[in-house]
Amino acid sequence: MPRLALFEPDIPQNAGTLMRLCACLGVAMDIIEPCGFVISDKNLKRAGMDYIEHLDLTRHMNWEAFKTAHAGRRRVLLTTKAAGSYLDFAFRPDDVLIAGRESAGVPEHVHGQCDARLLIPMRTGLRSLNVALASAMVLGEALRQTKMFPASEG
């Protein structure tokens, strides 16, 4: 199953929204610290609501700890500095999708240590989407391609 990793997230509401998304889709989440907020932040809890208790969440003290924990898995970075679109990418079930900080993305050394870098095609002159929206779009495509959306109960 693909995983979603947040690299040093800045905004608790975005992290909470993505926690809720991952809980609902059965996708494990990684948070690579340090965060720009306290993990128990009330805004994070409000955005994640009571779904957070259903989330498989792993916190990593830093990038090196994250890399060690997921050695052997393909690291796929979502970035505005990529050349390739996520729509043209062949996702695998063991991919770890990495979203950067809202304020700064990820540093160059992280770019260089990712196996793939993907962007979301957008209109010229516009910078980027909200990290939660971008992550949801790409995660949805990864789950669609790998046929790993959870089964409907209805």
Task: State mean pLDDT over 12-19.
Answer: 89
Mean pLDDT of the chain: 91
* Domain at 3-146: CATH architecture: 3-Layer(aba) Sandwich (3.40)
pLDDT tens column, 77-97:
999 999 899 999 999 999 999
pLDDT bin (cut points 50, 70, 90) of residue 47 is low
The tokens for 87 are 């729509």
pLDDT for the residue 89:
98
pLDDT for the residue 41:
55
**Which pTM value belongs to this model?**
0.92
Could you tell me what percent of the chain has a pLDDT over 70? Answer: 91
Higher pLDDT, 40 or 133: 133
Task: State mean pLDDT over 110-137.
Answer: 94
Q: Are 39 and 13 in contact (CB under 8 A)?
A: no
Q: What b/e sequence results for 100-128 when a residue is b if at least 16 CB atoms lie within 10 Å of its CB, and e otherwise?
A: bbbeebbeeebeeebebbbbbeeeeeeeb
